[in-house]
Amino acid sequence: MKTLFNRFDRLRLLALSVWALPLIALLPLGMLWLWQSKVLSGWLIAMVLCSAAGYGLQRWLLQRDRQLLAGAATHSDPRWPPKADGAWTSVEELAGQMQPEDWPLNEGSRLWTLGQNTLELVARYYHPTVERPLLELTVPHTLLIIERASRDLRITFTAQIPFSHSLTIGDLIRAYRWKATAERLLNVYRAGRLVINPADALLSEVWGRLRGQSYGMAWSELHRWLLREYVRKVGFYAIALYSGQLTLADAEPTVTATPLSRRDLKRAAAAVAPVAEPLRIVVLGRSNAGKSSLINALFGKLTAKFDVLPDTTAALTPYRLERDGLDAALIFDTPGCDTALLNEKALRKMVLDADLILWVCAAHRADRGLDRERLDAVRAWQAARPQIGRAHV
């Protein structure tokens, strides 16, 4: 306690105490007023009844949460061979033995030991004659089990625990660090209150005990569920590995092509006849003039992004227009010619290589001077290269 107070400036603590004194005085003054009004006993009875009702509601919510968490529990895979049933029974027995006080969440080494115990349990089931069966597991397979179990646990945790997306590891560590200090300060406060007002302290202890038990049970249930799911996930993928249903692939088997398939795909692509040169169409104009909307109309579906805000197109963006499986055209969407996003060097090359230029102007804008200026620049580029066929505008 002395070490805690030495960390703070005593004058700041005094200033904080003076500021909080009126608020702290409300409790004894309020109790005095209730006593003088002869309604103190009624208020105390109402406080106990409300606490009991809240405790009952918390118990009901706890039962409901247990049912929800039980529905989210990991179960065995029906595709496993019959031998895996015994291994899964052992994993379930280990999960049922989990007690939150034995496996605190703020000790990473303890959680690693729990995962190691689960792996060793499954390994011993499949290698009963080996003295240290866990050593029969290769490092890549061990990492694969951890990766798959962590991924599933993350998905389940996000889906089942409210506000889990904003809960950080630092929050948990800070909560555990301050827990003991907060309990010591609370004990000092409770002792002082018992000396000043024994009756109020006794009833407050009853209320605090009911409230503490209700919230403590909710946290313990969540803690226990996390430990059990951790054991089940690790055991699930360990059994899947020993059953031959988990491979060292980086992704699902249908996501990544095998080396044989990749080789055949390259050979098939090389055997395809070269396609004809497509028509190259460049769409130009000022920002928010409707260039992307025009491209969407040409495709007959939403292809280019558009918005009521300008600068939706941030770079030269090509789109492939197909008809009957053949390349009919390459359409290039461009940033507004009145923005700094337009790379003039890249635009000049695009214009000189184009077969057709579509210049889009907004019908409700009468200031066409900038459009005319940039259009003249495009025609000047074309005139400077007479050996290249001029694109139609």
Domain ranges of the chain: 39-242, 278-384
Q: How many helices (DSSP H) and strands (DSSP E) are in the chain?
A: 12, 4
Contacts 24+ apart (CB under 8 A), 341-347: 341/311, 341/313, 341/314, 341/315, 343/315, 343/316, 346/316, 347/316
Q: What is the CA radius of gyration of the chain?
A: 36
CB 166 within 8 A of CB 159: no
CB 217 within 8 A of CB 58: yes
pLDDT tens column, 162-219: 555 555 555 555 555 555 555 565 555 555 555 555 545 454 554 455 444 444 455 6
Q: What is the mean pLDDT of residues 100-116?
A: 78
What is the signed CA dihedral for 382, 386, 391, 393, rounded to 10 degrees? 50
pLDDT for the residue 283: 87
CB 227 within 8 A of CB 100: yes
Q: How confident is the model at residue 103 (pLDDT cuts 50, 70, 90)?
A: confident
DSSP code at position 305: -
pTM: 0.41
Contacts 24+ apart (CB under 8 A), 310-319: 310/336, 310/339, 311/287, 311/335, 311/336, 311/339, 311/341, 312/288, 313/341, 314/341, 315/341, 315/343, 316/343, 316/346, 316/347, 316/350, 319/295
Q: What is the mean pLDDT of residues 228-243?
A: 85
Q: If one looks up domain 278-384 in CATH, what number appears? A: 3.40.50.300
Tokens of 295: 């491209």
pLDDT at residue 53 greater than cutoff 70: yes
pLDDT for the residue 143: 76
d(CA 8, CA 327) in angstroms, rounded, equals 74
pLDDT tens column, 356-380: 888 888 777 777 778 788 888 888 8
* Token pair 């107070």 in the structure block, residue: 5
Q: What is the mean pLDDT of residues 90-101?
A: 86
pLDDT tens column, 6-19: 555 677 777 777 78
Of 92-106, 176-190, 268-282, 302-316, the range with the lowest mean pLDDT is 302-316
Length of the chain: 393
When the pLDDT of each residue in the chain is averaged and rounded to a whole number, the result is 71
E strand or H helix at 25: helix 10-36
Q: What is the mean pLDDT of residues 96-105?
A: 81
d(CA 160, CA 219) in angstroms, rounded, equals 14
d(CA 336, CA 285) in angstroms, rounded, equals 6
pLDDT for the residue 71: 62
pLDDT for the residue 21: 79
Q: How confident is the model at residue 64 (pLDDT cuts 50, 70, 90)?
A: confident
Environment class of 232 (CB within 10 Å of its CB; exposed 0-12, middle 13-18, buried 19+): buried
Type of residue found at 139: V
d(CA 298, CA 286) in angstroms, rounded, equals 19
Of 124-138, 252-266, 337-351, the range with the lowest mean pLDDT is 252-266
Q: Give whichever of 34-43, 71-80, 194-203, 274-283 has the largest mean pLDDT.
A: 34-43
pLDDT at residue 135 greater than cutoff 60: yes
* Torsions phi, psi for 57 (to 5 deg): -65, -40
pLDDT for the residue 309: 36
d(CA 129, CA 204) in angstroms, rounded, equals 60
Of 357, 382, 359, 383, nearest to 371 by C-alpha is 359
d(CA 70, CA 67) in angstroms, rounded, equals 5
Strand-strand pairing, 279-285 and 356-360: parallel
pLDDT at residue 160 greater than cutoff 70: no
More confident residue, 221 or 360: 360
Q: What is the mean pLDDT of residues 33-55?
A: 83
Q: Give whichever of 76-85, 183-192, 295-304, 339-348 has the largest mean pLDDT.
A: 76-85
Q: What is the mean pLDDT of residues 26-50?
A: 82
Q: What is the mean pLDDT of residues 55-60?
A: 77
CB 284 within 8 A of CB 337: yes
pLDDT for the residue 192: 53
pLDDT for the residue 1: 47
* Torsions phi, psi for 26 (to 5 deg): -60, -35
E strand or H helix at 220: helix 198-242
pLDDT at residue 279 greater than cutoff 50: yes
Three-state DSSP at 282 gives strand
pLDDT for the residue 249: 56
- Please give the order of strands across the beta sheet that includes 356-360: 317-323, 326-333, 279-285, 356-360
pLDDT at residue 84 greater than cutoff 80: yes
Q: How confident is the model at residue 303 (pLDDT cuts 50, 70, 90)?
A: low
Three-state DSSP at 382 gives helix
Tokens of 234: 């690790």
CB 288 within 8 A of CB 310: yes
pLDDT for the residue 295: 78
pLDDT for the residue 140: 75
